Amino acid sequence: MTHLRCLYTGRAPSRALAIADLRAMALRRLPGFVAEFLEGGAEDENTLAANLASFAQARFAPRVLTGPPPPSGIRLFGQDLPLPLVIAPTGFNALHWHEGDLALARAAARAGVPFTQSTVSNATIEQVAATGARHWFQLYAFRDRGASAALVERARQAGAAALVITVDAQLYGKRAWNTRLYRGENALRWPAMLDAARHPRWMAQVWARGMPGFANLYPFLPQGQSGLLPSARWVREAIDPALDWSILGWARQHWSGPLIVKGIGHPEDAARALAKGADGIVLSNHGGRQLDGALPALDLVAAVRDRLGDGPTVLIDGGARRGVDLAIARARGADAVMTGRATLYGLAAAGEAGVARALSILAEEYALAQGLIAGGPLWPPQGA
Ligand SMILES: Cc1cc2nc3c(=O)[nH]c(=O)nc-3n(C[C@H](O)[C@H](O)[C@H](O)COP(=O)(O)O)c2cc1C
């Protein structure tokens, strides 16, 4: 029998039926070095693989004859959301699509889901605010706390709804597959350049529109270092490698709204973050890009929920690619899921329309999963 299964790799987001189709579309359009940056993980990528496997291995024991399907919406930090999903902060979004941050934010605004803007985004805080998205701002704490305070103040003035402090990137993960594509710090190797030339749709955007740097960091970058690669190096050196719990006290002085700590990987740290003034946490291993060998957040969330009780807001991220993954995360005890690559695949496939498609796929699949699970538990039941 001829095997007729294949993913959609054309250009029409409406024809993508799964995040896997958007990924295939993205991988066709992107040069290899951008695809590597988007997809890759640290070292042997064991944690990256474990993140995906953690969701793939979960199984429900569904209930039947339970009447109308449950609603998809949740309440998070006092706001009603249409589904338990927040777009994760990702840097360099303009590498994937011109004005990538704005495309993500606009699609998020239309869907009513929060968009988290990274410190190393390519749009300004004010540009993202102008999209009308539920705007969360993610902070990498710099050694220069004055620079960090200035960013937080800008986010406050722009009306950001939450501050997310990332605490698992004080050292930069060893992403050797990515590094091997470069000669020295500033230039791609020839094969990677030739490969880029063979991706005309991506190249045409870069030629026509240019490649913006880290728009929010221009005030701090040394003269002559505002290009993408030199400023990326600057950021690595600027991030405080000796962060400790005092950063939460510092953040509380500068930010009175919801404060979320992202990158928690242990139940005791979850409890400590809340004791130090955080309003919520994100269990995360940074999408397998930092410590290779870290646990998937999904495997940790039940223990964290046991430690914290029902009250505190717990998000998880890493490996979610299907609507059912949101249901799995919630069944284990998370309030919501952050998506990194799932929504980035949509961006890289087709810009704002691709992100909108990613969100609608996840929303449809989540509603379907909820209807079919009908309140049934994950099996074996937790604690059994
Ligand atoms: C291309 C890329 C860039 C990222 N940049 C950031 C960042 O700037 N700040 C941050 O806190 N996390 C960053 N992350 C981690 C994500 O916020 C998130 O933790 C991770 O992508 C979740 O895993 P998933 O991609 O499997 O959904 C990045 C992830 C990717 C894939």
14-49 burial string, b = 16+ CB within 10 Å, else e?
eebebbbbbbbbbbbbbbbbbbbbbbbbbbebebbe
Task: Calculate the average pLDDT of the chain.
Answer: 96
Which residue's CA is minimally distant from atom 15 of ligand 1? Answer: 286
Quote the radius of gyration of the chain (alpha carbons, Å).
20
Catalytic residue numbers? 286
CB 229 within 8 A of CB 185: yes
Which residue's CA is minimally distant from atom 21 of ligand 1? Answer: 340
Which residue's CA is minimally distant from atom 19 of ligand 1? Answer: 286
For residue 238, how many other CB atoms are within 10 A of its CB? 19
d(CA 29, CA 11): 9
Fold of 13-176+234-373: TIM Barrel (3.20.20)
30-44, 214-228, 292-306, 364-378: segment of lowest average pLDDT: 214-228
Q: Supply the DSSP symbol for 260.
A: E
Residues 6 or more apart in contact with residue 269 via CB below 8 angstroms: none
Pocket test for ligand 1, best of 90, 118, 282, 326 (most atoms within 8 A of CB): 90
- CA 133 to centroid of ligand 1, rounded, Å: 19
pLDDT bucket at 184, cuts 50 / 70 / 90: confident
Average pLDDT over residues 89-116: 98
The alpha carbon of residue 377 and the mean position of all alpha carbons in its chain are separated, in whole angstroms, by 27
- CA 153 to centroid of ligand 1, rounded, Å: 23
Which residue's CA is minimally distant from atom 6 of ligand 1? Answer: 90
- CA 150 to centroid of ligand 1, rounded, Å: 23
Q: Where are the alpha helices (DSSP H) in 172-254?
A: 176-179, 190-197, 200-209, 228-238, 246-254
d(CA 111, CA 234): 35
- CA 177 to centroid of ligand 1, rounded, Å: 17
- CA 38 to centroid of ligand 1, rounded, Å: 9
CB 118 within 8 A of CB 166: no
Residues 126-139 have pLDDT tens digits of 999 999 999 999 99
- CA 66 to centroid of ligand 1, rounded, Å: 38
pLDDT over 90 at 381, yes or no: no
Which residue's CA is minimally distant from atom 28 of ligand 1? Answer: 90
Residues 156-166 have pLDDT tens digits of 999 999 999 99
Pocket test for ligand 1, best of 286, 321, 328, 362 (most atoms within 8 A of CB): 286
pLDDT over 70 at 1, yes or no: no
| Ligand 1 pocket by Cβ (under 6 Å) | 37-38, 51, 88-91, 118, 120, 138, 166, 262, 284, 286-287, 289, 317-320, 338-342
Residue found under tokens 């600027």: 238
What pLDDT was estimated at residue 228?
79
55-64, 163-172, 182-191, 327-336: segment of lowest average pLDDT: 182-191
What pLDDT was estimated at residue 384?
59
pLDDT over 70 at 175, yes or no: yes
The alpha carbon of residue 73 and the mean position of all alpha carbons in its chain are separated, in whole angstroms, by 20
Which residue's CA is minimally distant from atom 13 of ligand 1? Answer: 90
Average pLDDT over residues 100-108: 99
Average pLDDT over residues 55-77: 97
Q: Supply the DSSP symbol for 97.
A: S
Closest-lying ligand 1 atom to the alpha carbon of residue 164: 11
What pLDDT was estimated at residue 229?
80
CB 298 within 8 A of CB 328: yes
pLDDT over 90 at 2, yes or no: no
How many helices and strands in the chain, by DSSP H and E?
Answer: 15, 12
